[in-house]
Amino acid sequence: MTNFSSFADPEDAPSVAEAKKEILETEYSYTERDIILYNLGVGATANELKWTYEVVSQTKIYEPNRDDEFAAIPTFGVIPQFSASSALPFDWLPNFNPAKLLHGEQFLSIKGPIPTSGDLVSSARVLEALDKGKAAAVTTIVETRDKHSGQLVFENQSTVYIRGSGGFGGRRTGTDRGPATAPNDPPQRAPDAISEERTHSSQAALYRLSGDMNPLHILPEFAAIGGFDKPILHGLCSMGIAGKHVLQAFGPFEDIKVRFAGVVYPGETLVTEMWKEGSKVIFLSKVKERDTIILASAGASLIEKCYKAKL
C-alpha cells in the first residue's frame, strides 16, 4: 500500500500540508453490464464481441492471451475511482470556485488483470498542490483495490487547474513522477499508425452513464455558461477512445497519460496519431473537422502479456 506520508513536502504551505492528511474512500461494485456500457461509451461496436458480448468467454476454454476474450477496454480504470477523486474537497484553496475548475491531466496505471465484475474500494488523497500565481494546480492520487483481497488494481493521478485560486504559497513547480509527468513529445517523423473515428451525437449522453453526470455534457444551457456552443464530450471519453486506438494498433498497455488540450463536440471525428518509441507509444489526438489538438503530452507504456480476466 502506498505510504501516503511520503507525500509530505517541506515546501508545502500549511493549508496544503493539512489537505494532504485527508483520505476519502468510496466503494464501487460493477458487473459485466457496466463493462459493456463503458466499452460502448468509448466507441466499441456490436461487431467487436470481445468488448460488447459477455458470453464470449463462456463458450470456450479460458486462455489469458486470447484476443477475443471478453474484457474491459483498459481505460475503464478511470471509472471506479471517479467518485473518490471528484469528491475530495478543494475549499482549502483561496477563492475556490468549482465553476473555474478544469480537468488538466490524467494518468492511469493498470496493476494487473481487470476483473469483468467485482467490488472495489478507492482511496483518494491530495498528492501535490502548486501555486501558479493566478491559479492552482492540484494533483490527486487514487488507489483502487479489490474490496475482498486488498489487491491493487488501478492507480489514478488526476490534475485539475483552478483559476483564481493561486496565492496560497508553497511549491510552484511539480516533481518528476515518471510516466505520470513525462512530456511525451512526438518524434520529428511521420506517425507509425493513425486511427480515425467519428464520434456520434449521443456519445456524451451514453458515456455519462458510466459515472460522470456533469450537466456540461448534456444540457445546452449549462454548456453555454461554460462558454461552449453546445454540450461537450467528456475528456475521459476522448482519452478512452485514444486508448482504444493504441490498444488496437500496438497491443495492451500498463499505463496511459494524457493532457487535455481542447474539447470535442459529439459528432466530430477524432484522429489519433501514434509513434512507437521502444516499449512506449507516444500519441496525440485531434479533431479532424477543426484541426485542433485535444489530447497532448500523451503516452502509453506497452506490456507483453495481455491482461484479461475470466468471467
Active-site position among 41, 77, 235, 240: 235
Under a CB-based contact definition with an 8 Å cutoff, are residues 288 and 268 in contact?
Answer: yes
CA-wise closest residue to 289 among 267, 262, 261? 267
Active-site position among 79, 212, 241, 243: 212
Active-site position among 141, 232, 256, 294: 232
Helix 235-250 to helix 32-41 angle, to the nearest 10 degrees?
Answer: 90
CA-CA distance, 26 to 81, in Å (whole number)?
8
Active-site position among 141, 217, 240, 243: 217
DSSP, collapsed to helix, strand or coil, labels residue 153 as strand
DSSP, collapsed to helix, strand or coil, labels residue 239 as helix
CA-CA distance, 76 to 241, in Å (whole number)?
11
Under a CB-based contact definition with an 8 Å cutoff, are residues 157 and 85 in contact?
Answer: no
Q: Is 217 a catalytic residue?
A: yes
CA-CA distance, 128 to 8, in Å (whole number)?
9
Q: Is 232 a catalytic residue?
A: yes
**Beta bridge pairs of residue 162:** 101, 136
Q: Which residues are catalytic?
A: 212, 217, 232, 235
